[in-house]
Structure 1
Amino acid sequence: MLSLRVRLLMWLMLPLSLYIGGSAWMAWHSARDTAELVQDRALLTSAQVIAGELAWVDGTLRAPIPPSALELFASPERDRVYYQVITEEGRLLAGPPDFPHPPLFPAVPPAYHTITFNDEPLRVVSYVRTMYDSGVPHRVAIVVAETMRAHDQMVTALWEPSLHRQIAMAALAAVLVLIGLTVELRPLIRLKDEVAGRSPQELVPIRAGQLQTELRPIVDAINLCIQRLSAQAAQQRRFIADAAHQLRTPLTLIDTQLQFAARLEDRAALADVIRAMQTSSRGMTDLTNKLLLLSQAESSDTPAFSRQRVDLAAVAAGVLEELVALAQRRNIDLGFECDAPHVWVSGNVELFHAMVMNLVDNAIRYIPDGGRVTVSITQDTAHSRLSVIDNGPGIHAEARQRVFERFYRNAAPGQEGTGLGLAIVKEIVTASQGTVTLGPDAQGQGLTVCVTLPLDIGDATHA
């Protein structure tokens, strides 16, 4: 992978090279046109000088070649000069007979051409003069040609300095860009060194310092990531601390029971201790499962967590089927109401199952025998609402916010529980972009837990 300096330099040099190439091409054409203009004027002047020397002598047309007509072409390049003077009837008045002249009598004289003679390119002018003999016109063509050494030398002299200046300008631009990038990238290098030199526990925001405006969004994005990592690390530390604290008590109790059982000789008393140990073991298992579920609920609030389309009505119906036996043992009326056959939400089916299970299980556990628990699901154009309504003692207004805290219990003495049920519900609902509220029922009695979740609108047409 190429470095940033090289890539930026390539982006600069590519258009600059195209510009230099185009400019050099135009400069070469301009130099060529200038050299042709100079050479053409010299050829035309020479042809006009020769034409001026044409004369009738004893009824015969003569064409003497004055030296001045050829001196015009004197140059250090020693160009060769050719000429011909030919009448309209084809009589050669002057010049070599084998010269491959262009059209002698162009429609619009003078006419210029480039031809090859003796393996050398020649620039040729055809000039026509009309001579009169006793009132009879006779057209005479004067052809003058010159090799193009001086022409080519002039093109080079006019074109190369411009090309050299442009190449020097490109080289200077490349050097200045490399120096500028080196200077301007220093804050980014310092930022890299600062991030690389941090310890894993140093989750504090990065200082933007003198970083350029265009690079500040990168720092903001890194700081946002650091903030999320810090929150997640704090969450993990809190979870570990809570788990250690909560597991210490049942483990200590089981250890004490084991020590006590080791000293017992009475089999009846030993059986009682074993039953108590089994109860403690089940409680610790339930607590461990709740802690693992809480950890899963916390991790679900991340983009990497797998989500799918979930039928909330089907999940609630499945939970009620699992708890119907528990409700029947306590003579509790367990009901279910839903205004649609399917209620689609986005999330994780296992977590939604745990959410509904905790809500209904809490309602069944904390109401007297013979009570009533109703699960109701409604939906509008954008949201679904799952309500768990019971006619139990409810929760006092001052305790309704605290019940979502971990390990906070609002139960009567002797009632089982871990204090994690509503905390798990809160984490699952928050991760699903929903809300959960507590309050009495419509008659101001019991407890109603209402969970509001956004509908999965995109897949609703397939319901």
Structure 2
Amino acid sequence: MNGPENLSPKPATLRRQLLLWLLPPLLVLWAISAHIDYDIAKRFVNLAYDRALLDAALDIGRQIRVVNDRIYVDLPRAALDMLQTAEHDRIYYRVTSPQGEYVSGDPDLPLPESDTERVSYADEDYLGKPIRIVAVRVPVQPGSGKGAVTVQVAEPVTVRTGSAREVLLRMTWPQAILIYLSAVAVWYGVRRGLAPLARLRREIQGRSDRDLSPLPKAQAPEEVQPLIHAMNELLQRLSLVLSAQQRFVADAAHQLRTPVAGIKTQTELALRLTDPAQQQQVLHQLHTATSRLSRLIHQLLALARTEPGAQAAHAMRPTDLGREMREAASEWVPKALQGNIDLGFEGPDEPLMVRGNAILLREMLGNLLDNAIRYSPPGGRVTVQVTRKGTEVMLQVEDNGAGIPQDERERVFERFYRLLGTDADGCGLGLAIVREVAQAHGADVSLDSGAGGRGTAVRVRFPAAG
């Protein structure tokens, strides 16, 4: 059974679309040109046939004779046969005396409306057919005062129509051939123009699914280069996402292997023990190990949310950094009190707007506070401060703990890196998550010593919004 995708119409090719766009206007122009050409052809054909009729009338006028005051036309028999034998292009004529009396020719031929004009033309119906008539006034005997005879010559209009159509055909056939050749040229030209796209398609089809290197664009036309540039940017983003995913999977597998193995070993030990006190001790160790594992998994998931491929799912919008950080810091008060840590917040009442994602920003502050509280001694102090300086909004988390040596301040942003000699639990992902979140917001992260040279001050500078 055909699915809905099989019922959709097949998309037209670019060549066909171009022809469909170009041919109708060309055909319309051709029709308009044919109409204009037909009018021009009719005008020239009428002019030529009118002159021929006039020449015939003048020739008949030269054959008029007067004998004993009687007018007659001295036409040779061959001329009469030529005028009367053809069926479709037969020539009609009539000669009328100055007094309006019939002299010779076709007696029923319509008379001209005016008898004063030297030459006149008219369109009439004769024997059920449209005809064209020329009337010429020819003096009987110039200077004699006997007046002028009227010589009329007529022919069917169909002769002219046929000639006009023949002229039109001769004029339009070359145009039709040009239109056809234009269509062929467009078809061939588009095929040649699309050749770079065909090469690009073959280049992509021939690649391995792991090959995300940039596509070559040196030989591509200028119009195709933006497409290749966009595809290369997409490949670069895909490469970053895949690299981040592979790095995350490798890191997760490496970091989870040890705690899972420890939990398994402790579980096997608990199963072998029969002393309740020893079992209780092992169970306590299992609880501690599972808590560490839970935190590690939480940190890994937080790191995954900050990877380049996952950042697209977090919409960036104008956010009041001061309000978000105040609310997020208040959630850490219970943990600070458990460790006898003085947790404070400093910030103005007016909004400090940045363009960001509230979930990621809270995750960042959570990791900063977790590190600050975890590495501060009992009775220590942790301060969260949000201020605006010029075009920047700065978040600072300061503690008075042991601090970070100058030569270690860059390495602590690496994943799973921990300072030697620290007794606090941790997995080495907190500051790595902070840097990823900061980079996603276009912010800079720096480490410095706290007030009086003690502790650590982490500063995150955001571009201010508005």
TM normalised by structure 1 equals 0.84
Q: How many Å separate the matches in 2 of 1:244 and 1:236?
A: 12
CA contact (8 A) 1:379 1:385 kept: yes
Per the alignment, in what secondary structure is the counterpart of residue 214 of structure 2?
coil
What is the deviation of 1:2? 1.2
Q: 1:243 to 1:82 in 2, by over 3 A?
A: same
Match of 2:393 in 1: 384
AA in 2 matched with 1:242: D
- Of 147, 155, 168, the residue aligned with 2:156 is 147
Question: Partner residue of 1:453?
Answer: 462
How far does the alpha carbon of each residue in 1:335-367 deviate from its partner, in whole angstroms, 9 at most, with x for none? 222234333333332211111111222222222
Give me the whole-angstrom Cα distance separating, in 2, the residues matched to 1:77 and 1:225. 80
Whole-Å separation in 2 of the counterparts to 1:109 and 1:304: 95
Q: What's the offset of the Cα at 1:105?
A: 5.0
Instruction: Give the distance between the partners of 1:133 and 1:213, measured in 2 at CA.
Output: 83
Q: Which residue of 2 aligns with 1:26?
A: 36
Q: Tell me how far apart the structure 1 counterparts of residues 146 and 322 of structure 2 sit (CA, whole Å).
A: 114
SS of equivalent to 2:378? coil
Give yes or no for contact 2:321–2:353 (8 Å, CA) kept in 1.
yes
1:390-433 Cα deviation digits (max 9, x unpaired): 33333223222222111112374211111111111111121122
Q: Deviations over 1:357-380 (max 9, x none)?
A: 112222222223333322222336
CA contact (8 A) 1:389 1:441 kept: yes
Q: Which amino acid aligns with 2:16?
A: V
Aligned to 1:226: 235
- One-letter amino acid matched to 1:34: F
Shift of 1:234: 1.2
2:433 counterpart of 1:424: yes
1:9 maps to 2:19: yes
Q: CA deviation at 1:93?
A: 5.5
Shift of 1:290: 0.9
For the aligned residue pairs, the C-alpha RMSD in angstroms reads 3.5
Separation of aligned partners in 2, 1:159 and 1:133: 44
> Whole-Å Cα distance in 1 between the matches of residues 209 and 25 of structure 2?
45
- The amino acid of 1:192's aligned partner reads R
Which residue pairs with 1:461 in the alignment?
none
1:77 and 1:401 map into 2 onto residues whose CA distance is 110
Structure 2 residue 92 is matched with structure 1 residue 48? no
In the aligned structure 2, how far is the partner of 1:227 from the partner of 1:264?
A: 56
| SS of residue paired to 2:345 | strand
Partner amino acid, structure 1, of 2:319 = V
1:27-76: CA deviation from partner (whole Å, max 9, x where unpaired): 3333222211110111222333445566887778x474746997997997
Does the 8 A contact of 1:129 with 1:139 survive in 2?
Answer: yes
Alpha carbons 2:401, 2:455 under 8 Å: kept: yes
Deviation string 1:149-190 (CA, Å, 9 cap, x unpaired) is 432343233232332222233333333443444455444334
Aligned with 1:345: secondary structure?
strand
| 1:123 maps to which of 116, 125, 132 | 132
Distance 1:384 1:75 in 2: 108
The question of 1:243 aligning with 2:252 is answered yes
Task: Specify which of 284, 287, 296 is matched with residue 278 of structure 1.
Answer: 287
Say yes or no: does 1:175 pair with 2:184. Answer: yes
Whole-Å separation in 2 of the counterparts to 1:456 and 1:35: 79
Counterpart position of 2:333: 324
CA contact (8 A) 2:244 2:308 kept: no
Letter in 1 for 2:341: I
Corresponding residue for 1:350? 359
Aligned residues: 455
Deviation at 1:445, TM superposition (A): 4.4
Q: Which amino acid aligns with 1:198?
A: R
> Matches of 2:82 and 2:433 in 1, distance apart?
105
Distance 1:76 1:132, change over 3 A: closer
Counterpart amino acid of residue 41 in structure 1: R
**C-alpha separation between the residues in 1 aligned to 2:425 and 2:26?**
79
1:341 and 2:350 matched: yes
| Cα drift, residue 284 of structure 1 | 0.5
* 1:295, distance to aligned residue in structure 2 (A): 0.7
CA contact (8 A) 2:124 2:133 kept: yes
| Contact 1:86–1:142 (Cα < 8 Å) also in 2 | yes
Quote the residue 2:46 is aligned against.
36
Provide the C-alpha distance between the structure 1 equivalents of 2:362 and 2:234, rounded to a whole number of angstroms.
Answer: 31
Q: CA deviation at 1:135?
A: 9.3
After superposition, the Cα gap between the structure-2 partners of 1:345 and 1:142, relative to the gap in structure 1 and judged at 3 Å, is: farther
Q: How does 1:254-293 map to 2 (within 5 A)?
A: 254-293=263-302
The structure-2 alpha-carbon separation of the partners of 1:37 and 1:392, relative to structure 1 and needing over 3 Å to count, comes to: same
What is the DSSP-based 3-state SS (H/G/I as helix, E as strand, rest coil) of the residue aligned with 1:230?
Answer: helix
Contact kept? 1:345, 1:456, Cα under 8 Å: yes
1:138 is displaced (CA, Å) by: 5.9
Question: SS state of the match for residue 146, structure 1?
Answer: strand
Q: Which runs of 5+ in 1 are unaligned?
A: 458-463
CA gap 1:40/1:159 in 2 versus in 1, 3 angstroms: same
Q: Determine the C-alpha separation between the residues in 1 that align with 2:355 and 2:59.
A: 99
CA distance in 2 between partners of 1:144 and 1:159 (Å): 27
The answer for unaligned runs of 5 or more in structure 2 is 1-10
1:82 partnered with 2:104: no
- Asked whether the equivalents of residues 94 and 106 of structure 2 are also in contact (C-alpha less than 8 Å), the reply is yes
Instruction: Provide closer, same or farther for how the CA distance between residues 335 and 250 of structure 1 changes in structure 2, counting only shifts above 3 A.
Output: same
Task: Out of 386-395 and 80-89, give the one that drifted further.
Answer: 80-89
Amino acid at match of 2:17: R
Are the structure 2 counterparts of residues 117 and 275 from structure 1 closer, same or farther at C-alpha, using a change threshold of 3 Å?
farther
Rounded Cα–Cα distance in structure 2 between residues aligned with 1:186 and 1:443? 69
- Cα separation, 1, equivalents of 2:125 and 2:408: 108
What whole-Å deviation, never above 9, does each CA across 1:189-233 have from its counterpart, x for those lacking one?
A: 343233234332232333447544432333332222222212211
From 392, 395, 416, give the equivalent of 2:404.
395
**Partner residue, 1:460:** none
